[in-house]
């Protein structure tokens, strides 16, 4: 799925929401690879940013949560 602003999602859906494993690429070059539940980031994931930063950890209710590594 691709939006007019350039964001893209590739992965599973359930009831028209992102659900299961997927990759969301933002128009700014950021990328989220991980789990979704009912359209929200949830569980283990990796996020990368255009400046080279890298987050590897967990998400809960669409926000970073718990122990993680940020480089």
Give pLDDT tens digits for 16-65. 999 999 999 999 999 999 999 999 999 999 999 999 999 999 999 999 99
Tokens found for residue 43: 């569980």
Measured distance CA(41)–CA(23) in Å, rounded: 10
Q: Which two tokens stand for residue 38?
A: 């009912």
CATH top class, domain 8-70? mainly beta
pLDDT confidence of residue 59 = 97
pLDDT score for 11: 98
The CA distance from 18 to 27, in Å, is: 18
Query: At which residue do the structure tokens 């999602």 appear?
Result: 9
Domain extent listing, the chain: 8-70
What is d(CA 21, CA 40) in angstroms, rounded to the nearest whole number? 11
Q: What gap in Å lies between CA 13 and CA 50, rounded to an integer?
A: 27
């Amino acid at each position: 799925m691709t939006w007019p602003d350039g964001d893209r999602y590739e992965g599973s859906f359930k009831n028209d929401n992102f659900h299961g494993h997927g990759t969301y690429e933002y128009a700014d070059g950021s990328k989220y690879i991980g789990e979704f539940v009912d359209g929200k980031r949830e569980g283990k994931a990796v996020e990368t940013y255009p400046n080279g930063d890298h987050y590897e950890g967990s998400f809960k209710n669409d926000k970073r949560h718990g122990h993680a590594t940020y480089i």
